[in-house]
């Protein structure tokens, strides 16, 4: 049995209360270990350590010295690649090929990209004449925001945590990370890396627990926190935004989505089906940018449905390290119950079930895992529950359309606005639509293609703020103005 301790001021600590909860392997329902839940005392200690580090050795480092440490962090993650890989797979159950090609490499790359960003970002300066005929030079200075609370999701635990920790530390802040209660391992393991490379104590802290009445609430309400960055569901993000209003602290929130794909009859069919297979079913549909609504121009509607059905039925569930495994389990039995409940709702509301809709037949050793079938529906109106509500499972509803104006109205008729993918060889049409669809990210003939220098974030109820490249600096630093008269 493993123990997942809080990491505070460079040391692993349990808690004053002795309260623990279990880390469960979603593949078979087995217990991985016990997680020590942080209470108010542990959160207070973590924030105090982070504040002290700002005034200590960390706060005195130059940009070059900070970047040297962060480069060492990236190198150590890569050196311990297998340790991080095993930890991530145990927590999430995702297939080896996915975690090894996406989660862990990006976890390290997130430090590297922001090293390059902070080294090359300039601030503005202006010369002006003063009323008495002299000269004034006005220039900008970026300073760290302070202590950043990093609240992370369970679907891509290392990747999405380092996506926030990387720029926060590159900009000179300190962090207190609250990983999801479902996936504590890699955030905890990163504490060993921080110590190994000589990161000053208090720069990186981890507190484990839940949301209300636990570490999440204690951290986001803490007056010693200067900014809060969060990825997760809209309901939690709304609560965090309310908490941040007390003290007028900035937030960066990437929240829920009900993402659409728009497929025109002139698309490259093979590329489209390959891409939709990934966007609808990869990571068992547990990707914030994943596709749950597919709109297909009527001449190829039946062809797309048939092709995607074939792909869904070929996605073999199984053990993460089996070469033939194409899809893993959902994160937990709780989430499985939610997804299966929505599968039932789709049936009750009159959906045509093209494939799936239940739990796959698994071997006895895996029957206690959190498995669901990749599922495709057709035939529902735009007001149906599974067409409007985020499911976060391996599923999609496919519906036909006849005109550009019609599909644009359907795509935008949702309270979320995170991402969209457009498939067509008419680039003028694709760009025209991309300008009108109300989302933060739009792909043309692609999905999950990311240049980490570009802005990332959602519109409407999918979030507020942008991170990535220089855009991260708008949240992780404060821009001050200095005026010199001479």
Q: Which residues are catalytic?
A: 254
CA distances from residue 325 to 93, 121, 283, 285, 328 in whole angstroms, order as listed: 11, 43, 12, 15, 7
CB 347 within 8 A of CB 334: no
Q: Which residues of 133-150 are buried (b: 16+ CB within 10 A; e: fewer)?
A: eeeeeeeeebebbbbbbb
Other C-beta atoms within 10 Å of 451: how many?
Answer: 9
CA angle (56 as vertex; 51, 58 as ends), nearest 5: 90
443 Ramachandran zone, left/alpha/beta (phi>0; psi -120 to 50): beta
Measured CA to CA, the distance from residue 264 to residue 403 in angstroms comes to 10
Dihedrals phi, psi of 53, to nearest 5 degrees: -65, -30
Q: Which among 205, 273, 220, 195 has a CA at the least distance from the CA of 49?
A: 205
| Residue in the block written with tokens 């597919």 | 294
Q: Percentages helix, strand, coil for the chain, rounded to the nearest 5?
A: 40, 25, 35
| DSSP at 299 | G
Measured CA to CA, the distance from residue 250 to residue 227 in angstroms comes to 5
CA quadruple 98, 99, 103, 105: dihedral sign? negative
Close Cβ partners of 17 (under 8 Å, ≥ 6 residues apart): 37, 39
Measured CA to CA, the distance from residue 234 to residue 342 in angstroms comes to 18
| DSSP at 413 | S
CB 485 within 8 A of CB 148: no
Other C-beta atoms within 10 Å of 483: how many?
Answer: 11
CB 107 within 8 A of CB 84: yes
DSSP assignment string, 206-274: E----STTSHHHHHHT-TT--EEEEES-HHHHHHHHHHHHTTT--EEEE----EEEEE-TTS-HHHHHH
CB 395 within 8 A of CB 343: yes
């Amino acid at each position: 049995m493993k123990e997942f301790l809080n990491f505070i001021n460079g040391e692993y600590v349990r808690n004053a209360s002795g309260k623990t909860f279990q880390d469960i392997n979603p593949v078979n329902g087995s217990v991985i270990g016990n997680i020590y839940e942080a209470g108010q005392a542990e959160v207070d200690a973590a924030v105090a350590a982070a504040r002290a580090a700002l005034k200590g050795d960390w706060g005195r480092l130059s940009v070059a010295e900070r970047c040297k440490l962060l480069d060492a962090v990236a190198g150590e993650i890569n050196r311990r690649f297998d340790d991080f890989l095993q930890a991530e797979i145990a927590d999430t159950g995702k297939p080896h090929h996915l975690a090894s090609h996406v989660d862990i490499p990006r976890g390290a790359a997130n430090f590297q990209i922001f090293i390059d960003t902070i080294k090359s970002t300039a601030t503005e300066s202006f010369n002006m004449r003063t009323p008495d005929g002299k000269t004034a030079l006005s220039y900008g200075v970026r300073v760290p925001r302070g202590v950043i609370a990093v609240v992370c999701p369970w679907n891509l635990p290392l990747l999405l945590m380092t996506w926030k920790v990387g720029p926060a530390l590159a900009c000179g802040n300190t962090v207190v990370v609250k990983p999801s209660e479902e996936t504590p391992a890699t955030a905890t393991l990163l504490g060993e890396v921080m110590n190994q490379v000589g990161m000053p104590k208090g720069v990186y802290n981890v507190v484990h627990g839940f949301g209300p009445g636990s570490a999440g609430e204690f951290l986001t309400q803490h007056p010693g926190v200067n900014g809060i960055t969060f990825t997760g569901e809209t309901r939690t993000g709304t609560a965090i935004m309310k908490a941040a209003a007390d003290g007028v602290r900035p937030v960066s929130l990437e929240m829920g989505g009900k993402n659409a794909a728009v497929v025109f009859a002139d698309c490259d069919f093979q590329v489209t089906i390959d891409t939709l297979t990934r966007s609808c079913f990869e990571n068992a549909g547990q990707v914030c940018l994943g596709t749950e609504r597919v709109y297909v121009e009527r001449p190829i509607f039946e062809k797309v449905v048939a092709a995607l059905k074939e792909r869904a039925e070929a996605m073999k569930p199984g053990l993460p390290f089996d070469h033939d495994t194409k899809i893993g389990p959902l994160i937990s039995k709780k989430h499985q119950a939610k997804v299966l409940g929505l599968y039932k709702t789709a049936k009750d509301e009159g959906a045509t079930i093209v494939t799936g809709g239940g739990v796959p037949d698994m071997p006895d050793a895996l029957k206690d895992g959190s498995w669901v079938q990749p599922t495709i529906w057709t035939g529902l109106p735009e007001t149906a529950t599974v067409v409007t509500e985020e499911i976060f499972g391996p599923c999609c509803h496919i519906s036909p359309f006849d005109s550009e104006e019609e599909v644009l109205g359907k795509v935008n008729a949702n309270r979320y606005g995170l991402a969209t993918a457009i498939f067509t060889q008419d680039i003028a049409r694709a760009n025209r639509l991309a300008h009108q669809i109300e989302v933060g990210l739009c792909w043309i003939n692609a999905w999950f293609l990311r240049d980490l220098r570009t802005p990332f974030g959602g519109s409407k109820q999918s979030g507020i703020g942008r991170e990535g490249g220089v855009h991260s600096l708008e949240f992780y630093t404060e821009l001050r103005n200095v005026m010199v008269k001479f």
